[in-house]
């Protein structure tokens, strides 16, 4: 064994494409070509096949191709260059494992399997994988490497076991999705605890990019055994960073220390939320090969924010906004939609829907005879707009972005087959108060990964101020306001936060000072709207209880807590 006093370990924080094994392998080899000086390059969890693979990983053909592609990567290391630590799937004794392979000297030098399989929230790993045994350290050029995989460091057993067997450096590969405050939890709540508990430094490599409803923020780092952050990589962007490790005296023996490196500044609130929306939409549109997006621009805050997100994600030339006025559309809304599109620099077309409204009125006049206009006619307007936008999507190819926020989706204040039409919803996990906060922020700042307007040191503005300050309205009947049907969002959103995110009962929320009858009504609306949410398009996960992956309620449900 070659004994080294210094190691260069390159951390490669990369995006992935689930199922595109040749492209993922080529990206890893491209990094290797540029990091010939390194001893070892570390890539994120399941970098070869993409994460999360979901039921795709149950296809034998994918597993077979992953094995063949891994052999090719191993052969590439026969040139005497850097070794690679690559995440993939492995079959042992008929069981499928999530693991990492150390590729060195033209072969697969070692393989270790994930021990702790997460099975909560967005994770279903027990559906696919068998846990490996508690892993042993891997010797590498004079160092004993512990290779915990993602969830393995969220519990103490794996790191303690590796430490007892002589591990000197923890190299942890991850596919850790973004959630609000997740970076603080990873570093302070998990990684530092493992390092301090064992006295062993830990390098944490996370992927970056969107995958359907989850998005990964990167933000890889290295922490020392005293809890200090030695290296902090950026969030929301691919990055390749060298870390230099030296074997230094420690008491009567030696230990490995990482030389301090650059410490990137991570996005603060609400930029982190906005970046999550931008990256998720960008990778969804590009990953599914859409030329761009189309969306309805009503002059309201939800569609204005979605338009800004789309322009920041794709560029103004790939965003098509459509204003679809009716007799109830105010002059202010027409002006605000035009102002928003002008500020963003994107295309805006106007398609009046009155002819279609009149046509449906005539078509249904006989069967509706004797019935007064009600919610039905309001929903017809929304569905006309949905059909119009889908027609443009079908005819010209852009994906339809839907614009409903989490507050509306929670209580069913949205029209199925109408304004819920679309291929993706950036606001699906954002409550209305979050929409207001993001809009105010984006009018003053520009996200680090944004492609949209940037005025000097500020960021916009991207929408007229009146869009943010005027009372929200669906404009489906004269002088309509959201507050006609719902409590003020300052009341509604905290109630929903309690019911959805924290699973509180009516009694608990009433004890906190909320009006019991209002809470009961909101709980009922939440439950009866489940069937709508099951048919809603996907959207990026921001919190810890998004609709779909985290919160999975029955549609037919008679339970009420109050």
List 69, 114, 116, 432, catalytic entry: 114
End-to-end CA distance of the chain: 68
Strand pairing report for 253-258 and 239-250:
antiparallel
Contact 36, 197 (CB under 8 A): no
Query: What residues does 295 pair with on adjacent strands?
Result: 321
Contact 153, 194 (CB under 8 A): yes
Say how many CA atoms lie within 13 Å of 27 toward its Cβ: 22
Contact 523, 560 (CB under 8 A): yes
Of 198, 255, 188, 200, nearest in space to 224 by CA: 200
Listed in sequence order, the DSSP H helices in 215-300 are 271-287
Q: Residue 180 is encoded by which pair of tokens? A: 């609000």
Contact 97, 129 (CB under 8 A): yes
Annotation says 179 is catalytic: no
Query: What residues does 236 pair with on adjacent strands?
Result: none
Q: Where are the beta strands (DSSP E) in 387-501?
A: 399-400
Query: What residues does 102 pair with on adjacent strands?
Result: 85, 110
CA distance 39 to 37: 7
Annotation says 346 is catalytic: no
CB burial of residue 248 (10 Å; 0-12, 13-18, 19+): exposed
CA distance 239 to 221: 11
Of 352, 333, 416, nearest in space to 379 by CA: 416
List 69, 116, 125, 150, catalytic entry: 150
Annotation says 114 is catalytic: yes
CB burial of residue 229 (10 Å; 0-12, 13-18, 19+): middle
Say how many CA atoms lie within 13 Å of 468 toward its Cβ: 18
419 vs 15, 322, 557, CA distance in Å?
32, 13, 25
Report whether the peptide linkage leading into residue 367 is cis, meaning its omega lies within 30 degrees of zero. Answer: no
Secondary structure element (H or E) that encloses residue 395, with its range = helix 375-396
In the three-class reduction of DSSP (H, G, I as helix; E, B as strand; rest coil), residue 549 is classed as coil
Of 483, 472, 519, nearest in space to 498 by CA: 519
Contact 415, 389 (CB under 8 A): no
Of 447, 491, 77, nearest in space to 282 by CA: 447
As annotated, the active-site residues are 45, 114, 150
């Amino acid at each position: 064994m070659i004994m080294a006093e210094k190691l260069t370990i390159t951390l490669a924080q990369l995006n992935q494409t689930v199922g595109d094994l040749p492209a993922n392998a080529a990206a890893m080899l491209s990094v290797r070509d540029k990091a010939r000086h390194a001893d070892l390059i570390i890539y994120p969890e399941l970098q070869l096949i993409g994460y999360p693979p979901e039921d795709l990983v149950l296809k034998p053909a994918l597993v077979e191709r992953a094995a063949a592609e891994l052999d090719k990567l191993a052969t590439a290391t026969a040139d005497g260059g850097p070794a690679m630590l690559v995440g993939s799937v492995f079959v042992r004794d008929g069981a499928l494992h999530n693991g990492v392979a150390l590729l060195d000297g033209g072969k697969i030098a070692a393989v270790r399997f994930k021990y702790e399989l997460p099975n909560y929230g967005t994770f279903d790993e027990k559906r696919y994988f068998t846990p490996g045994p508690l892993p042993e350290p891997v010797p590498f050029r004079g160092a004993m490497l512990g290779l915990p995989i993602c969830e393995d460091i969220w519990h103490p057993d794996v790191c303690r076991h590796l430490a007892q067997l002589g591990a000197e450096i923890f190299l942890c590969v991850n596919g850790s999705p973004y959630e609000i405050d997740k970076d603080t939890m990873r570093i302070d709540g998990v990684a530092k605890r493992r390092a301090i508990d064992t006295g062993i430094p830990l390098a944490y490599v996370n992927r970056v990019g969107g995958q359907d409803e989850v998005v990964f923020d990167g933000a890889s780092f290295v922490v020392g055994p005293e809890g200090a952050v030695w290296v902090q990589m950026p969030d929301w962007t691919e990055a390749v960073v060298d870390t230099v490790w030296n074997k230094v005296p420690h008491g009567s023996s030696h230990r490995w220390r990482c030389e301090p490196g650059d410490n990137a500044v991570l996005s603060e609130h609400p930029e982190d939320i906005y970046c999550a929306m931008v990256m998720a939409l960008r990778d969804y549109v590009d990953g599914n090969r859409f030329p761009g997006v189309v969306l309805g621009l009503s002059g309201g805050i939800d569609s204005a924010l979605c338009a800004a997100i789309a322009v920041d994600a794709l560029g103004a030339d790939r965003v098509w906004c459509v204003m679809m006025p009716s007799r109830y559309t105010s002059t202010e809304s027409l002006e605000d939609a035009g102002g928003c599109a002008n500020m963003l620099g994107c295309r805006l077309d106007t398609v009046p829907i009155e002819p279609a409204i009149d046509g449906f009125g005539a078509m249904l006049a006989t069967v509706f005879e004797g019935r007064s206009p009600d919610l039905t006619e309001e929903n017809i307007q929304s569905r006309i707009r949905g059909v119009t936008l889908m027609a443009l999507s079908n005819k010209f190819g852009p994906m339809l972005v839907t614009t409903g926020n989490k507050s509306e989706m929670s209580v069913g204040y949205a029209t199925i087959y109408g304004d819920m039409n679309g291929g993706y919803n950036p606001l699906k996990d954002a409550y209305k108060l979050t929409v207001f906060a993001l809009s105010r922020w984006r009018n003053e700042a520009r996200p680090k990964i944004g492609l949209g307007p940037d005025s000097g040191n500020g960021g916009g503005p991207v929408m007229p101020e009146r869009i943010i300050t005027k009372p929200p309205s669906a404009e489906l009947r004269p002088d309509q306001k959201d507050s006609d049907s719902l409590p003020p969002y300052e009341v509604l959103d905290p109630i929903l936060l309690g019911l959805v995110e924290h699973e509180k009962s009516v009694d608990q929320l009433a004890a906190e000072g909320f009006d019991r009858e209002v809470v009961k009504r909101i709980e009922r609306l939440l439950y009866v709207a489940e069937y709508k949410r099951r048919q809603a398009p996907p959207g990026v996960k921001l919190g810890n209880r998004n609709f779909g992956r985290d919160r999975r309620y029955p549609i037919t449900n008679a339970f009420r807590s109050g």
